[in-house]
Amino acid sequence: MNYGRKLFYQKKIYDLEKTNDLFVKSVLENVRHHQINCPEYAEILLRRKFSPDDIVSINDIYKIPPIPTLFFKNHTLYSSSRQHLLFKSTTSGTSGKVSEMGLDWPSVWLGLGMITGTFFTHRLTSLYPANYIVMGYQPAKRNKMGAVKSAYAATFTAPAMHREYALKDTGTEYILNIEGIKHALIRYEKSGLPVRFIGFPAYFMFLMKELIDSGVKLKLHPKSLVILGGGWKQFLSEQMDKPALYDMSKEALGIGKDRIREMFGVVEHPIAYFDCPNHHFHVPVYSRVIIRDTDLRPVEYGVPGMLNLLTPMITSMPFTSVMTDDLAVMHPGEECGCGINSPYFEILGRVGLADIKTCAAGASELLV
């Protein structure tokens, strides 16, 4: 039986208690698939002395060996033939290394269930036409970054009348398009249609500062929406508190915090985490989240540690349990107050390089 299909088409996407047993069956199904079809992954499990039989309940899933994203930036592992991949993408490579991800049809099918459930639950889809400001790269055949493809896909959440990109493709290079965005926003305001902003929070902040400094203050359609994702990356030192960023949006665009949503995700774990009305990332049924210390031991609620993400979504690559380079902390869902009882995690920043190496060392040595 394919437990993943049942899991990824659940109607209540935050009912973790009801789906714990199904998640365990799905994740074990996924681990066994990779163990059989990816010799390198089987070797990792063998060297970690792990067997799927070690997992009896949801309380045991921490035993699945987490593989650092740093490892995948140096080793590309597949559990499916590359000829059967429908989509391929890479990370942005801000650290100098990139990870590659390829999706086969089973992975895409599960992903469609996840996207449908997530977007409808958070009411991010609309049949009303909208104009888009994409705060990132214009799609091009030579650009394989996952963030570019994700941003473009997000422009289908409402019928797109027009798209304007912060970085426009000339055919040979990308050029900054600040003036183009300014003129587009003025046209969009006059059109009377909602405007949807898609992209990195740092780029959105720079755009807000540019508009305010230029004396451009707009009153966009009240159904306009800002969807931010991807973190601050190389602009971490310039990271702005959310309330301050929301205030700038209200001043420059007339879009308040109730129409600003944030999304978290990584290429090696393509589950879309959208924030709740209180701007917290609750864990959906499609995944489980563990916070670990530098010795890889799980920590309790409220204790900062490294973010470990688990999902049985991907069948083409062994991304079942990945360790990110994000520092995070988990909270019980009841602390949020939004009505979602699923636990939520808070991203605190990036783990230091020394800690990443501590976490990655064991796995990185397995295939050399």
Q: What Å distances lie between residue 342 and 19, 266, 310, 321, 338, CA to CA?
A: 12, 20, 15, 20, 10
Amino acid occupying residue 131:
N
Domain 3-99+288-364 in CATH 3.40.50.12780? The answer is yes
pLDDT score at 98: 67
Closest CA to 72 of 270, 210, 247: 270
Q: Parallel, antiparallel, or unpaired: how do β-strands 67-68 and 321-331 relate?
A: parallel
Question: For position 368, what pLDDT does the model report?
Answer: 33
Q: What DSSP state is assigned to residue 84?
A: G
| pLDDT score of 91 | 64
So what's the pLDDT on residue 96? 55
For 149-171, write each residue's pLDDT tens digit. Answer: 788 888 999 999 999 998 898 88
Continuous H helices in 49-200: 69-72, 105-121, 146-154, 178-191
Q: For residue 262, what is the enclosing H or E element?
A: strand 260-266
* The residue to which tokens 């508009």 are assigned: 211
Task: Please give the pLDDT value at position 1.
Answer: 53
CB atoms closer than 10 angstroms to residue 159: 12
Strand partners of residue 160: 130
Task: Collect the ranges in the chain with pLDDT lower than 50.
Answer: 353-368
Round to whole Å and give the CA distance between 204 and 348. Answer: 20
Torsion of CA 336, 337, 341, 344, to 10 degrees: -10
> Distance from CA of residue 3 to its chain's centroid?
23
Q: What's the predicted TM-score (pTM) here?
A: 0.86
SS3 category, 349: strand
Domain boundaries, the chain: 3-99+288-364, 126-264
Report which of 55, 77, 56 is spatially closest to residue 64, judged by C-alpha positions. 55
CA distance 285 to 307: 17
Over the stretch 5-30, which tens digit does the pLDDT of each residue have?
999 999 999 999 999 999 999 999 99
Rounded Cα distance between 192 and 220, Å, is 8
